[in-house]
Amino acid sequence: MNIYDISDIGALIKDNSYVGRGIVIGRSDSGKKAVFAYFIMGRSENSRNRIFKEEGDDLMIYPFDASKVEDPSLIIYAPVRTMKDCVIVTNGDQTDTVFEYLKKGKTFEEALETREFEPDAPNFTPRISGILHFSDKDFTYKLSILKSADEKGSACNRYTFSYTSRNGLGHFIHTYNCDGNPIPTFTGEPERVQIPDDMEEFAKTLWDNLNESNKISLYVRSIDLATGQYEKVLINKNK
């Protein structure tokens, strides 16, 4: 495969039972919209007992059935925070860390220097984060992954990928390569994927190809670069 090839995201995930949590950021095919998506999957009853809920321009995760919550520490958080000129999307409470650092005039990278992978040995789930920066009716974006340096969780390696947006191109990062025990951490660079103009089509491609047993919730947002207005699709398996 050529390093500049662009994949259909549905084809990337359809035969993978557990990619975990995933972030996609990119620019629509017409070039008119910034697009991002966030999804969660789960294998345990605690993980599967969740729903996405919008609160203003932010996105929250809540228990579907509060009586069944075993440990909320790694499953209940705000995956999306919206600011004046940027949007933060992550797979954990580091969303709030980045939000607070940006409010103080600090950077995405500085915020994530204070965080590391999740303390869920033996998996040591990576923290994945993304940010879209808007300026002059255009945008750039970054993706980050914080990973354990070894099987013991003795140190954290931090990787940040910075992108200029290009028409029809997005980048996809997820917590795991596939299912396993322990679950193998995502490796390599974020994957290059197609970003269509039709947000409903994009959301459907993602949702239909995520593993039926393990998928939980999906959120997709499309921001018009000329007006700043956005459209979204929110899907919860639990209803």
Q: Which two tokens stand for residue 217?
A: 């919730």
Give the start-end residues of each E strand in the chain: 22-27, 33-41, 50-55, 58-63, 80-82, 86-90, 127-135, 138-148, 156-164, 169-174, 191-194, 215-224, 230-236
How many C-beta atoms surround the C-beta of residue 191 within 10 A?
19
H helical segments located in the chain: 9-13, 45-48, 94-103, 108-112, 199-209
For 6-55, how does the pLDDT look when each residue is reduced to its tens digit (9 = 90+)? 999 999 999 999 999 999 999 999 999 999 999 999 998 888 999 999 99
Q: What global pTM score does this model have?
A: 0.96
pLDDT at residue 68 in the model: 83
Q: Strand 127-135 and strand 191-194: pairing?
A: unpaired
Q: How does pLDDT run across 171-225, given as a tens digit for each residue?
A: 999 999 999 999 999 999 999 999 999 999 999 999 999 999 999 999 999 999 9
Peptide bond into 122 cis (omega under 30): yes
* Residue 99 CB contacts under 8 Å (≥ 6 apart), including other chains: 81, 83, 88
* Sheet order of strands, 58-63 included: 50-55, 58-63, 80-82, 86-90, 127-135, 138-148, 156-164
